[in-house]
């Protein structure tokens, strides 16, 4: 019996490791910029406070709320490379779920936690990429460990370490207010239940709120999570609500799984509410509700919800299992969980989470072919690039060349996106004005997987403009150059040798998009 439980837990954590060891599918996007920023911070011992990488809005104030994550990524990349970073990311997730298990291990059976873990992995979907938010998941796990050990084991000493965790969190990722919120909910839980130690919890909550001021931007940095969307001129998928995305046919499968898991999660509360009443379960109920609402409001919040859900669901499930541990049904249920874990890795469930080809340590080429073309042919800027590929260009070309835009909407003004970036792609006359008279664009570097309406219009228009011949394309990007005497050798060498415009965007244009 004991060996079966051990196998169940090992299989479950093995699943976490395999699930999180996945190729860097979004290499064209944020990771390159994180590595370059980490390099700059490490070398200069200074966190830039303006839009350092763009020639279009170089003086725009920018609060880097994940600067320390970038330093960690940069230093690790020097030692272990990108495949090593993938393993590091998987190790973080293993630590996260290990802490969640230890938080409630004295109150739950392995069966309960294995089932809860499966549900959490189904809910978290593709939010396991290599991003600074993995450190938020780790910090949340630390908070939940301390809170549950205090509530269910009377070990309040772990709470005293949370201000240090919060200090770390405030410099790693923008989700740091979640720690204060969790402590606030726990203080309310203790107050309602009549535990005199609620004041101690309240003081620790206040300490957590105070330490967030210790960051390179002081009060502005501490308030960044509450003000960042005020200057967000560009809509990105991860900031949209689940209802909005489903209406547009985006992430439908993952959203359906999330809704199913969420419904099961809240139904699991019923036996505990009946037995002990909501009053004794304030923290679990309120935290589950708050983070479920946050996840519905913004898809990027699905990850934190999954972290919150795992230990609470495990506690709830205890009311459903037989109390006699020797029962055959109990052993059979554990065995079925192990089989389910295997099925998630290689069976029909895997497509609900991630495509099969994402597992592994492979590093996709991304826009590297286009960058090699730019470097080998000494192609100089100014460059016009789209939002999706800007971070990769920062990684590979900065400081020799700056980008037009990159994947940080908060680093650019709303007017830039609304009056310049989008109109340049939608209106050929606006394009001509800014490309010729304002920015003097010399070449275009475009990730043609961009399915925004303005990108589709721009690619259709520019591909027929004789002043901008196509000189390079691969499975990721296209490059056009201005027809000038300086560029004629390049144009003659590449544009007259049968290079055809990729047909991919014609297919993508038929899809619904943001």
Q: For the chain, what are the domain ranges?
A: 2-224+239-352, 368-508
> What's the rounded Cα separation, in Å, for the pair 40 and 34?
10
Q: How far out from the chain centre does Cα 361 lie?
A: 18
Peptide bond into 436 cis (omega under 30): no
pLDDT at 512: 36
Q: Does residue 387 have a pLDDT over 70?
A: yes
For residues 392 and 22, the model is more confident at 392
DSSP 305-360: HHHHHHHHHHHHHTTTS-S-TT-HHHHHHHHHHHHHHHHHHHSTTHHHH--GGGBS
- For residue 431, CA distances in Å to 403, 423, 457, 458, 468 come to 17, 7, 12, 9, 12
Question: 3-state DSSP call for residue 13?
Answer: helix
Question: 3-state DSSP call for residue 383?
Answer: strand
- For residue range 69-95, what is the model confidence (pLDDT) as tens digits? 999 999 999 999 999 999 999 999 999
Give the residue ranges of DSSP H helices in 125-214.
Answer: 133-153, 162-170, 177-193, 198-211
Q: 445 has which bridge partners? A: 385, 479
404-411: average pLDDT: 94
pLDDT at 513: 35
Torsion of CA 307, 308, 314, 317, to 10 degrees: -130
Q: 135 has which bridge partners? A: none
> What's the rounded Cα separation, in Å, for the pair 286 and 186?
9
478-494: average pLDDT: 94
Spell out the long-range contacts of 180-187 with Cβ–Cβ below 8 A and sequence spacing 24 or more.
180/205, 180/208, 180/209, 180/212, 181/290, 182/140, 182/143, 182/144, 182/147, 182/287, 183/143, 183/147, 183/159, 183/208, 185/282, 185/283, 185/286, 185/287, 185/290, 186/147, 186/150, 186/151, 186/283
- For residue range 416-475, what is the model confidence (pLDDT) as tens digits? 999 999 999 999 999 999 999 999 999 999 998 887 889 999 998 998 899 999 999 988
> What's the rounded Cα separation, in Å, for the pair 56 and 74?
26
Mean of all residue pLDDT scores within the chain:
86
pLDDT band, residue 299 (cuts 50/70/90): confident
Q: Does residue 335 have a pLDDT over 60?
A: no
Closest residue by Cα to residue 67 from 175, 180, 216: 216
pLDDT at 354: 46
Q: Does residue 374 have a pLDDT over 50?
A: yes
Q: Does residue 359 have a pLDDT over 80?
A: no
369-384: average pLDDT: 96
> What's the rounded Cα separation, in Å, for the pair 63 and 7?
46
Q: Please tell me the number of Cα atoms within 13 Å of 173 on its side-chain side.
A: 19
pLDDT at 126: 74
Q: Is 298 exposed, middle or buried (0-12, 13-18, 19+ CB in 10 A)?
A: middle
Closest residue by Cα to residue 405 from 509, 69, 418, 508: 418
pLDDT at 118: 85
For residues 273 and 368, the model is more confident at 368
- Looking only at the bridges linking them, the beta strands covering 443-447 and 383-385 are parallel
- For residue range 199-245, what is the model confidence (pLDDT) as tens digits? 999 999 999 999 999 999 999 999 999 998 887 878 887 778 877 77
- For residue 279, give the DSSP letter: G
Q: Is 266 exposed, middle or buried (0-12, 13-18, 19+ CB in 10 A)?
A: middle
Q: Does residue 373 have a pLDDT over 90?
A: yes
For residues 177 and 340, the model is more confident at 177
pLDDT at 353: 47
pLDDT at 175: 97
Site of tokens 């004794």: 280
Q: Please give the share of the chain, as a percent, with pLDDT higher than 70.
A: 85
CA angle 95, 96, 98 (to 5 degrees): 60
pLDDT at 392: 95
Q: Does residue 96 have a pLDDT over 80?
A: yes
* Farthest CA pair distance, the chain: 84
Provide the b/e sequence for 183-212 (b: ≥16 CB within 10 Å): bbbbbbbbbeeebeebebbbebbebbbebb
For residues 243 and 380, the model is more confident at 380
45-60: average pLDDT: 94
Q: The whole model's pTM is what? A: 0.90
pLDDT at 336: 58
> What's the rounded Cα separation, in Å, for the pair 127 and 306?
10
- For residue 165, CA distances in Å to 144, 162, 168, 221, 466 come to 12, 5, 5, 17, 57
- For residue 8, CA distances in Å to 1, 14, 36, 346 come to 11, 10, 41, 17
Q: Please tell me the number of Cα atoms within 13 Å of 272 on its side-chain side.
A: 21
Q: How many of the other CB atoms lie within 10 Å of CB of 485?
A: 6
Kindly state the tokens that stand for 391.
């971070």
238-247, 285-294, 314-323: which is most confident:
285-294
For residues 170 and 3, the model is more confident at 170
- For residue range 6-29, what is the model confidence (pLDDT) as tens digits? 766 777 777 777 777 876 667 777
pLDDT band, residue 338 (cuts 50/70/90): low
- For residue range 119-158, what is the model confidence (pLDDT) as tens digits? 898 888 778 888 999 999 999 999 999 999 999 999 999 9
Topology of the domain comprising 368-508: Rossmann fold (3.40.50)
| Contact predicate 310/144, CB 8 Å | no
- For residue 210, CA distances in Å to 141, 173, 184, 421 come to 21, 17, 14, 39
């Amino acid at each position: 019996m004991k060996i079966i439980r051990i196998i169940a837990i090992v299989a479950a954590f093995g699943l976490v490791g395999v699930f999180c060891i996945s190729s860097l599918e979004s290499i064209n996007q944020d990771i390159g910029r994180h590595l370059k920023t980490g390099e700059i911070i490490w070398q200069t011992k200074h966190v830039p406070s303006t839009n350092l990488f763009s020639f279009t809005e170089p003086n725009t104030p920018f609060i880097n709320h994940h600067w320390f994550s970038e330093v960690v990524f940069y230093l690790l990349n020097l030692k272990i490379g990108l495949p090593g970073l993938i393993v590091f990311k998987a190790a973080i997730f293993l630590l996260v779920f290990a802490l969640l298990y230890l938080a409630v291990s004295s109150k739950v059976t392995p069966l309960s936690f294995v089932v809860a873990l499966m549900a959490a992995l189904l809910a978290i979907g593709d939010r396991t990429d290599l991003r600074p938010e993995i450190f938020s998941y780790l910090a949340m796990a630390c908070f939940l460990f301390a809170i549950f050990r205090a509530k269910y084991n009377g070990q309040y000493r772990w709470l005293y370490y949370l201000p240090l965790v919060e200090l770390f969190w405030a410099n790693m990722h923008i989700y740091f207010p979640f720690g204060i919120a969790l402590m606030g909910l726990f203080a309310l839980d203790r107050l309602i239940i009549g535990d005199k130690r609620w004041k101690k919890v309240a003081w620790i909550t206040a300490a957590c709120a105070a330490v967030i001021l210790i960051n390179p931007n002081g009060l502005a940095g501490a308030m960044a999570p509450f003000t960042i969307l005020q200057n967000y001129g560009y809509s990105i998928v991860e900031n949209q609500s689940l209802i909005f995305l489903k209406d547009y046919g985006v992430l439908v499968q993952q959203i359906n799984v999330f809704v199913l898991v969420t419904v099961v999660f809240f139904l699991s509360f019923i036996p505990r509410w009946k037995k002990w009443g909501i009053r004794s379960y304030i923290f679990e109920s309120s935290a589950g509700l708050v983070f479920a609402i946050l996840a519905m409001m913004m898809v990027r919040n699905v990850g934190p919800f999954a972290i919150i859900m795992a230990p609470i669901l495990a506690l709830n499930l205890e009311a459903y299992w037989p109390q006699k541990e020797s029962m055959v049904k109990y052993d059979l249920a554990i065995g079925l969980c192990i089989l389910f874990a295997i099925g998630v890795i290689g069976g029909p469930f895997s497509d609900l989470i991630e495509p099969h080809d994402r597992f592994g340590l492979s590093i996709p080429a991304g826009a590297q072919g286009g960058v090699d073309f730019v470097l080998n042919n000494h192609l100089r800027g100014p460059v016009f690039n789209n939002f999706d590929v800007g971070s990769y260009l920062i990684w590979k070309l900065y400081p020799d060349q700056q980008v037009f835009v990159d994947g940080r909407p908060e680093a650019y003004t709303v007017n830039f996106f609304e009056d310049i970036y989008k109109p340049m792609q939608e209106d050929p006359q606006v394009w001509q004005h800014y490309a010729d008279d304002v920015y003097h664009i010399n070449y275009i570097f475009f990730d043609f997987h961009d399915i925004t309406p303005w990108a589709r219009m721009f690619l259709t228009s520019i591909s027929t403009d004789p002043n901008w011949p196509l000189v390079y394309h691969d499975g990721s990007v296209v490059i056009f150059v201005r027809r000038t005497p300086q560029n004629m050798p390049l144009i003659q060498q590449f544009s007259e040798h049968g290079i055809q415009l990729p047909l991919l965007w014609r297919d993508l244009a038929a899809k619904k998009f943001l």
